[in-house]
Structure 1
Amino acid sequence: MSRAVLRYTAMRLGIFAACFVVLAALAYAGIIPEAVGRANPLWLVMLALIVSAPLSLVLLRRQRDEMSERIAPRVERTRQSVRQKLAADQSREDEAA
């Protein structure tokens, strides 16, 4: 795994953790509801996911672009390999028929 992928993932998890801590503090202070029914931790995790997603989209744009530049050549090589295998399989089927 490349350094760009690890860095993006760590930063994404960091934003999620920060959102979770802030939301937990707000829930503890009574500013937001602590729970929905009996799902206190799940409620805060889901809320943190919802809040951290758009923040990550905006704040980690550069890291996401860098990561995609690293991944794109590998994806293209894999795609070409799969296409070649499919073409070879199809030609074998055509010969057998």
Structure 2
Amino acid sequence: MSDNGTGAATLRYTLMRLGVFAGCFFALWGLVHLGVLPRGLGDSNLLWVLVLAVVISAPLSFVLLRKQREAMSEQIATKVDRAKTRLEASRSQEDGV
């Protein structure tokens, strides 16, 4: 079924990524609320802050979470390699039958 190491690395990266986004969102929300950054037009203030948070958190996550992303991808690649090996073994058994 699921390899706990892969699941843990993926969950850890995802939670850290969400944390970076949430940190950016609340920091930007505060800056907009204080008037440092402009408000959105009309009722679009929340959308404005969300878009800014996505735009800012993406490159931050790319740089800050490099180690976690590499660990996650390494574990996923290992799991995929094991699945390919099992599939190949299954195919060779079917060919032998």
Q: Smaller-chain TM-score range?
A: 0.7 to 0.9
Across the two proteins, how many residue pairs are aligned to each other? 85
State how far apart, in whole Å, the 1-side matches of 2:39 and 2:81 are: 46
Structure of larger gyration radius: 1
For structure 2, the 5+ residue unaligned runs are 1-5, 92-97
Residue 18, structure 1, aligned to residue 23, structure 2 = yes
CA distances 1:39-97 after superposition (whole Å, capped 9, x unpaired): 1111111110000000000000000000001111333456675xx99xxxxxxxxxxxx
Percent of pairs with identical residues = 49
Call closer, same or farther: CA 1:79–1:33 in 2, change over 3 Å.
farther
Residue 53, structure 1, aligned to residue 58, structure 2 = yes
State how far apart, in whole Å, the 1-side matches of 2:38 and 2:77 are: 42
CA RMSD in angstroms, aligned pairs only: 2.3
Q: Which residue of 1 aligns with 2:11?
A: 6
Q: Following TM superposition, where does structure 1 have runs of at least 4 consecutive aligned residues deviating by more than 2 angstroms? A: 73-81
Q: Which residue of 1 aligns with 2:3?
A: none
Q: TM-score, normalised by structure 1?
A: 0.75
Query: Which of 54, 59, 64 is 2:69 aligned to?
Result: 64
Q: TM-score, normalised by structure 2?
A: 0.75
